[in-house]
Amino acid sequence: MFNFGFAVEHLLGHVTHYQNLKQWVTPDTNVHPTWIPIKADKNDIWKYVPIVRSNWSLQSSLRARDAIQAVLRDQPLDALFLHTQSIALFASPFMQRIPTIISTDATPLNYDAVGRGYEHKVGGNALLERRKFLWNRSSYHAATALVTWCQWAKDSLVADYGVPAEKVTVISPGVDLEQWHFRQEQALDRPVRLLFVGGDFARKGGYALIEAFRTGLGSDCTLDIATKDPKIAQELSGLESVQVHLNLAANSPQLKRLYANADIFVFPTQADCYPIAVIEAMAAGLPVITTDVGAIREQVEAGVNGLLLPALDTGALITALSALVGDESKRRSMAIASRRLAEERFNGRRNYHKILTLMKDLTEEHTASKRLLAQNSLLTRP
């Protein structure tokens, strides 16, 4: 029996990743998992300490340290999984004695590259930025292994942080392909159904989509918007053919129903790394119209299962929507390609099994190493 700890940052799409990871780890009877969600809304001391309270990396890393220490007081852990590096800043003492994987969708320097859309300021105090870089680099090198969601993040770990390439494994997040497999039926007597899913409506390009929709697409389409912003429903209350769905939970039947009923997934995001919503759309067999930011080009193949547009280009969005709405044959071929690519790349059963296999291998290597050290110690005693 393996005792594994899973500490996962609970922000944005990482919540969905946590749920999917939990779904596929739990059935493994050889693993006793301890789940350690690191949440932003926890009412603890770190919510009030100056400097810490305004810095998510410090706050989440201190919470993770406290939570892991609490677990270790009750039981030993054979291996530790930390997602993302934001919660790993104070984990070096654990990593010295427990095989540890740091998992991430993007490095801090990756994040800086798309930071403007997150309202993330890059630069400023050069000394502080250098210390931040060195701290993250130290965490990466202290980890036993690293898992990245995409090649974009692995390339940054190797080129920017000096991590040996063989220490990094690319394992994409996945979904339950059976639960996300819907029969797409395009009725000829109804408008084309567009779907947008984004908790952060502005950053995900929601306003660009509304602007495009107002150009006349509304006569040929309907638009479903799933978001967390309560103001959006009021702002769009007068816009015909648009329905806003607030606070739908990850993997919920209501959310899946929207994907099942859609014809095109539209995601003109300004800033993203490797969005799980795109993975869900592909598993649902939807053509995807999105932007070429972060590592999205590792998900969507331009012209095959979707269209990749420049960010903040409403004209390009209007052109892409008009072309795909008016071409049912193209939509159908892209839908088939999306599902095929999802089966090849985003099979949750296979991908999360890879993480478990890596953790088991690291545990066995660590155990063998300790046994060898103990034997050598006995042989060298006088």
Q: What confidence score (pLDDT) does residue 376 get? A: 67
- What is the chain's pLDDT, residue by residue, as a tens digit (382 residues)? 999 999 999 988 899 999 999 999 999 999 999 999 999 989 999 999 998 988 999 999 999 999 999 999 999 999 999 999 999 999 999 999 999 999 999 999 999 888 776 766 666 667 778 888 999 999 999 999 999 999 999 999 999 999 999 999 999 999 999 999 987 665 557 889 999 999 999 999 999 999 988 887 767 899 999 998 888 988 887 788 899 999 899 899 999 999 999 999 999 999 999 999 999 999 999 999 999 999 999 999 999 999 999 999 999 999 999 999 999 999 999 999 999 999 999 999 999 999 999 999 999 998 887 777 666 665 565 5
**CA-to-CA distance for 253 and 233, rounded, in angstroms?**
21
Q: What confidence score (pLDDT) does residue 375 get? A: 66
Pairing of strands 192-197, 221-227: parallel
- Which residues are CB-contacts of 275 (< 8 A; sequence separation ≥ 6)? 13, 267, 269, 294, 296, 299
For 2-174+347-380, CATH number out of 3.40.50.970, 2.60.40.1120, 3.40.50.2000, 3.40.190.10 equals 3.40.50.2000
* CATH architecture for segment(s) 192-345: 3-Layer(aba) Sandwich (3.40)
Closest-CA residue to 139 (of 122, 155, 162) = 162
- pTM exceeding the 0.75 threshold for the entire prediction: yes
**CA-to-CA distance for 186 and 323, rounded, in angstroms?**
17
CA distances from 226 to 14, 245, 246 (A): 17, 5, 6
Q: What confidence score (pLDDT) does residue 12 get? A: 82
Domain with CATH 3.40.50.2000 in the chain: 2-174+347-380, 192-345
